[in-house]
Amino acid sequence: MRLKIAKLPGDGIGPEVVEQAVKVVDAVCKRFGHEVEYTFAKVGACAIDEFGKAYPESTHKICMESDAVLFGAVGDPKYDNDPTAKERPETGLLAMRKQLGLFANLRPVETYSSLVHKSPLKEDLVDGADFLCVRELTGGMYFGEKGRRDSGDTAFDTNLYHRYEIERILKLAYEYAMRRGRHLTIVDKANVLESSRLWRQIGQEMAPEYPEVTTDYMYVDNAAMKLITGPKFFDVLVTENTFGDILTDEASCISGSMGLLASASIGEHTGVFEPIHGSYPQAAGKNIANPLATILSAAMMFEYAFGLMEEGRVIREAVTASIVAGYTTEDLGGSQSTSEVGDWVANYIAR
């Protein structure tokens, strides 16, 4: 197969971790006889520096013309304490999601038995936890009308959801639930928010279409608690954009390190595959960041963008092997550098 990949390393540790994922993708392509072509493009702070825009039109064009986007991270501390900045690195990520129509963000949470001791939670509580978070990605407060009034002293963000947006994400979540453990938890705040009441209403309308799936409705505050007191309860968790942002950061701690959590954003156009950890500027350029989340995102890319399941499995197997061998970066208790872990995983696949 011929694979056209847009390579968007972005900012901070993005370039270092994407480089490792590229080594792994190359090793997989070599082993399975695929031809791969990368097109580099800028996004985030580095794109603002060069083009004045965090998601320039030229980058969008490259994404549209590719089969998948391999993404690192965006963000730069110089924007963090400047609330007046018009163009921010994060604006680029949001524009990309919107323009590519990526309404679904899939964040699987898996645990590795040899790593459960790294989890801040009790081992028996997390060992075996395995669930999929499905976060709505192009609606809600992130994109609803926002602004200031009263000479800037009043601010608002609108949590707007249309029926079609809720229906398509719930449909997807049900489809994943059917393929997994047939248990869907719809997370909302329907006791307070009108938008959540619409989510719950549509969930109740759709549930009978999936009689094999057990549907639960859970308030987001309760879900936040359940994620740390009993993560094994979950199979597929679906929720709106802002709740999903918060809950998936929380969920990322379960497995022991944020450096392990991969994600896929899919929807109308080219899918984006990225680690959830962000740009981690303190580590940028030091060759210490954990590349496994990006490598696992590449596994998701093979599976979701190319339908190449065996290739994805081989990457996962190599990642697990590196963890079992203790050949990891510091966050996982090892002493290897970013590039050493990348080389190890790529060599494991090539051997």
- Catalytic residue numbers, as ranges: 142, 189, 221, 245, 249
Least Cβ distance, residue 295 to Mn ion (angstroms) = 20
* Angle of CA points 338, 274, 288, to nearest 5°: 15
Least Cβ distance, residue 37 to ligand IPM (angstroms) = 27
311 makes contact, choosing from ligand IPM, Mn ion, none, with CB < 5 to 8 Å by partner type, with: none
Residue 127 vs 250, nearer CB to Mn ion: 250
Tokens of 76: 């730069």
Residue 93 vs 134, nearer CB to ligand IPM: 93
Element (H, E) at 47: helix 45-51
The CA-to-CA distance between both ends of the chain, in Å, stands at 21
Rounded-to-integer distance, Cα 317 and Cα 72, Å: 22
Least Cβ distance, residue 94 to ligand IPM (angstroms) = 6
16 makes contact, choosing from ligand IPM, Mn ion, none, with CB < 5 to 8 Å by partner type, with: none
Taking CB under 5 A as the rule, does residue 26 contact Mn ion? no
Rounded-to-integer distance, Cα 66 and Cα 64, Å: 6
Q: What distance lies between CA 27 and its chain's CA centroid?
A: 23
Q: Which residues bind ligand IPM (CB under 6 A)?
A: 90, 93-94, 245, 276
Residue 19 vs 245, nearer CB to Mn ion: 245
Residue number of the CB atom closest to ligand IPM: 90
178 makes contact, choosing from ligand IPM, Mn ion, none, with CB < 5 to 8 Å by partner type, with: none
Rounded-to-integer distance, Cα 69 and Cα 274, Å: 8
| Per-residue interface string for the shown chain with Mn ion, residues 225-264, x marking contact by CB under 5 A | --------------------x-------------------
165 makes contact, choosing from Mn ion, ligand IPM, none, with CB < 5 to 8 Å by partner type, with: none
Residue 100 vs 258, nearer CB to Mn ion: 258
Residue with tokens 């497995």: 255
Residue 133 vs 301, nearer CB to Mn ion: 133
Least Cβ distance, residue 61 to ligand IPM (angstroms) = 22
Please check whether residue 320 is in contact with residue 295, taking contact to mean a CB–CB distance below 8 angstroms.
Answer: no
Please check whether residue 93 is in contact with residue 43, taking contact to mean a CB–CB distance below 8 angstroms.
Answer: yes
Element (H, E) at 238: strand 236-239
Please check whether residue 25 is in contact with residue 36, taking contact to mean a CB–CB distance below 8 angstroms.
Answer: yes
Closest listed residue to residue 342, CA positions, set 269, 268, 279, 288: 288
Least Cβ distance, residue 90 to ligand IPM (angstroms) = 4
Least Cβ distance, residue 57 to Mn ion (angstroms) = 26
The residue count for binding Mn ion (CB under 5 A) is 1
Other CB atoms within 10 Å distance of the CB of residue 30: 13
Residue 119 vs 252, nearer CB to Mn ion: 252
Site residues for Mn ion, window 45-64 (CB under 5 A)?
none
93 makes contact, choosing from Mn ion, ligand IPM, none, with CB < 5 to 8 Å by partner type, with: ligand IPM
Number of helical (H) and strand (E) elements in the chain, helices listed first: 13, 12
Taking CB under 5 A as the rule, does residue 167 contact Mn ion? no
90 makes contact, choosing from ligand IPM, Mn ion, none, with CB < 5 to 8 Å by partner type, with: ligand IPM
Tokens of 91: 């604006």
Which DSSP string do the residues of 231-269 spell out, in sequence order?
GGG-SEEEE-HHHHHHHHHHHHTTTS-GGG-EEEEESSS
Rounded-to-integer distance, Cα 48 and Cα 54, Å: 5
Residues that bind Mn ion (CB under 5 A): 245
